[in-house]
Chain A
């Protein structure tokens, strides 16, 4: 019963998020563009599917995964778990091994499940005529988020300044941009903002707050922030790197092909 009520509430709140956008677009279509909306039944069905789908998705996450994930973030950052077997409490950053592993794993896994990223990957695949693979892009972004979140945890634990990390990240992005294939750059920049949505933000925020609460000398309000920023900066770097690696592999392969070609030519000349 309780689940039913919370489910209805979530679906209702999703509709109040989606419906104004839809209404605005329809008004624009009718009054500014002055064109009838085509395929209205198909669109209406699609909107109902979107709302219901997103609603059920959130209810299910709230039922199953979020409580467990939050609990896990709490337990993993708890001093009792961290200092198991140690005689003295030592908050050195190297004692947080499982926190880093969890950050890596949960960053990767939540990004793969992120519906917004799936949407962008589908669009990129279609637009590039299949040159960009849906899974290739998603895995590249997920690796970026994974590295970002665990580095963000390291920052909270050590208390190093957030700005310094972001500045270095920006410099890396700028340097990569100069040597990246031009086709991928806009998509890579976009993938930074796309990654942090419905699935990633709640779990990652719980991890950050858990850490900032338990590590001595950190305040949850001041140091708990910043993980989302890391999770939206590092995918840019990883997607650019993915494109650079693909381009490099392509170049090596084509060089080998021409070498073999030249080699074949020279031997054929020798024969004649």
Chain B
């Protein structure tokens, strides 16, 4: 029991430390720069307690479930030795976790507004929702492709810097071709695709695979999947924008 309490205390203390900077920043600006009193301090305190509790539980669940799931799956897939299933799994994981991502839906809606404003699509609800769906599927496909390429890289031991730099070259090349109103959205979509649940899973998957394969270093080969997942959406979204404008 005391051991449990001690672990709990350690987790809570960790969460307090993680959240202290935000509270300090917002408090400082409120009092010293904007010089305004806080309204309903009670609701604020309640919210802060919830944030604390939530972060503590999330970290606990991470160690209990998400990390072990990702790792055991990676080991099992590597032991099974079927490249086909491994790649299928990676693609589906990337596609599935992205297509329902709320942050992506929000960005896609804004993008539809921009596209309608620029005259790339008609300004009707129907055409807009078609555009949103198309964009979401495009980004989901790009993340699926990213994980597929990333896992293939771990298997074959390709050089990550070389691949990422070629990706950068493609992003720059696409930027010169794509309609200007899509560029900002495309650049942002790279950052929003990787959610709080996907990141631990994918990281555990990569590290687990690299450590169960011979001649692979978990540090240099296991990381890098997220890097692909935040690079390919930029290329795919600009391609989508160009195709829509071209049609």
Contact = CB atoms under 8 A, between A and B. Distances in A.
Interface of A: 3, 7, 13, 16-18, 20-22, 24-25, 28-29, 32-33, 35, 38-39, 42-65, 68-69, 72, 75-76, 81, 98, 102, 105-106, 108-110, 112-116, 118-120, 122-124, 127-128, 162-163, 166-167, 170, 173-174, 177, 182-183, 185-187, 189-190, 192-199, 201, 221-229, 231-232
A194 B190 CA distance: 10
Contacts of B59: 53, 115, 118-119
A43 to B, nearest CB: 5
Contact of B103 (A49, A60, A201): A201
Contact of B54 (A16, A57, A201): A57
B66 to A, nearest CB: 6
Interface of B is mostly: helix
A225 B171 CA distance: 17
Interface residues of B, number: 101
20 contacts: A7-B50, A33-B80, A49-B57, A52-B54, A60-B48, A62-B47, A63-B43, A64-B48, A76-B33, A113-B19, A123-B207, A166-B187, A177-B161, A192-B226, A193-B193, A201-B191, A222-B181, A229-B187, A229-B190, A232-B230
Contact of A193 (B26, B52, B230): B230
Contacts of B25: 102, 105-106, 108-109
Query: When A and B form their complex, which 8 residue pairs have the shortest distance between CB atoms, in order from nearest?
Result: A46-B65, A64-B47, A46-B64, A57-B54, A53-B57, A63-B47, A60-B50, A49-B61
B183 A163 contact: yes
A118 B117 CA distance: 39
B220 A109 contact: no
Contact of A221 (B51, B57, B80, B110): B110
B39 to A, nearest CB: 9
B188 A228 contact: yes
B77 interface: yes
Nearest to A23: B96
A60 B68 contact: no
Contacts of A225: 110, 184-185, 187-188
Interface of A is mostly: helix
A38 B71 CA distance: 13
A109 B22 contact: yes
User: Interface centre among A18, A51, A190, by most B CB within 10 Å?
Assistant: A190
Nearest to A33: B76
Given A33-B77, A64-B48, A163-B175, 7 more contacts: A49-B61, A65-B48, A72-B30, A116-B199, A119-B62, A225-B188, A228-B192
